[in-house]
Chain A
Amino acid sequence: GEDVEQSLFLSVREGDSSVINCTYTDSSSTYLYWYKQEPGAGLQLLTYIFSNMDMKQDQRLTVLLNKKDKHLSLRIADTQTGDSAIYFCAERAGTYKYIFGTGTRLKVLA
Chain B
Amino acid sequence: GAGVSQSPSNKVTEKGKDVELRCDPISGHTALYWYRQSLGQGLEFLIYFQGNSAPDKSGLPSDRFSAERTGGSVSTLTIQRTQQEDSAVYLCASSLAVDTQYFGPGTRLTVL
CB-based contact A42/B42 at 8 Å: no
Nearest 6 interchain pairs by C-beta: A42-B103, A100-B43, A102-B42, A43-B103, A100-B42, A42-B105
Residues of A within 8 A of B (CB): 4, 8, 31, 33, 35, 40-45, 48, 88, 90, 95-98, 100-103
A41–B3 CA distance with the chains assembled, in angstroms? 13
Contacts of A43 in B (CB 8 A): 43, 91, 93, 103
Residue in A35, A88, A90, A98 with the greatest tally of chain B CB atoms within 10 Å = A98
Q: Which size class do B's interface residues fall under?
A: 20 to 34
One of B14-22, B61-69, B73-81, B94-102 contacting the partner:
B94-102
Interface string of B49-87 (1 = CB under 8 A from A): 010000010000000000000000000000000000000
B100 touches which one: A45, A95, A97 (CB < 8 A)? A45
Known A96-B31, A96-B50: A45·B101 in contact at CB below 8 Å:
yes
